[in-house]
Structure 1
């Protein structure tokens, strides 16, 4: 079970962006979180991905309360959650080739260079990236190709939970469909739970088992 319990978070303790948000996701369940731009969805997504410490409340993953954030989180919890953000060009190191972008979590987890390269190639193929593209840097590929690499990076450690924060907002319809298909294939194979954050109700309703409106999980 993935639980957000009464989470309050922001970047100024006097004016939190998120107030008292609570949400539960069951193993293998896909939950859509629907809300307008600027409401705090992305901040909550960062908290769920263990990238931002909340001012109050708890994140509980598979029965274990999270006490550390970013690199201070226990490795078992860090690797349990994969995250894909809206803007791939802000979340990928421009100095790295795509194969290196994908392999980043493996190298951080202490995998050997050879093992990381093999797993990165396998995951790249699963998201539709060819070997030739893997040798390019972010500025040499399209937004859709780079987002495929960012999705592969999120999946390469085979997480039990996925957080997709407006993952398809900058993509065309065909690329959106392809990436959603990749996520669903992964979920079926691994039984992973999903939090899909967005403002497109039609997409979330089609993609997820249930869609929750922001106003129902957080105080204004």
Structure 2
């Protein structure tokens, strides 16, 4: 179980963007988090993935309270998550080829020997042709780069996927391909999913249940929605 308990978070303690939020995702469950731009969804997603320290509250992963954030999180907790962000060009090092981008987490965790096989397998999973793997971000489309970012998110076999507006900048066919890749991975592994977005139709088709931002706490949406 992934649990967010009474989470308050933001970038100014005097004016948090997330206030006293409770959210759970069961193992193997797909939960959609629906809300308008600016309401705090992405901040909550970063907290859930251990990328942003909350001002108050806890993240509980399979019964164990998170013990750190970003690189200070224990490796076992940090690598339990795979995260895909909305804008691939902001989350991809422009100096790396797509092969190097996908392989980053393996090299960071001392598993460089696995790179050739894992990259080849995941490239097929997300629909990247071999001819694209030697290219750098500026040499591929947004959709192709987002496929590589999804492959990177899957490379350590995470138990939890956080997709923060993963398809917001993509066309319908690429959206369908990425959702299918995520669902194929979840079917094989039993991973849980938190999918954040503002596309109600997509989230309700994709997820087992959809939570509206204003259902998470008494005042989060009332103060922050735009």
Shorter chain as denominator, the TM-score bin is over 0.9
- Give the TM-score of the pair, scaled to structure 2: 0.95
The equivalent of 2:80 in structure 1 is 80
> 1:99 and 1:216 mapped to 2: Cα distance?
41
* SS of equivalent residue, structure 1 residue 19: strand
**Which consecutive unaligned segments of at least 5 residues does structure 1 have?**
none
> 1:13 and 1:107 mapped to 2: Cα distance?
36
> 1:202 and 1:131 mapped to 2: Cα distance?
33
Residue deviations 1:2-37 (CA, integer Å, cap 9, x gap): 000010011111111110111011100000000000
> 1:115 and 1:188 mapped to 2: Cα distance?
23
- Give the TM-score of the pair, scaled to structure 1: 0.98
What does 1:108-187 correspond to in 2, within 5 Å? 108-112=108-112, 114-187=113-186
The equivalent of 1:37 in structure 2 is 37
**Which consecutive unaligned segments of at least 5 residues does structure 2 have?**
221-226
The equivalent of 2:187 in structure 1 is 188
> 1:164 and 1:209 mapped to 2: Cα distance?
15
1:131 CA drift (Å): 1.1
Which 4+ stretches in 1 moved above 4 angstroms?
Answer: none
* SS of equivalent residue, structure 1 residue 32: strand
1:61 aligns with 2:48: no
RMSD: 0.7
> 2:213 and 2:67 mapped to 1: Cα distance?
25
> 1:3 and 1:26 mapped to 2: Cα distance?
8
Alignment length, in residue pairs?
Answer: 219
1:18 aligns with 2:42: no
1:117 CA drift (Å): 2.7
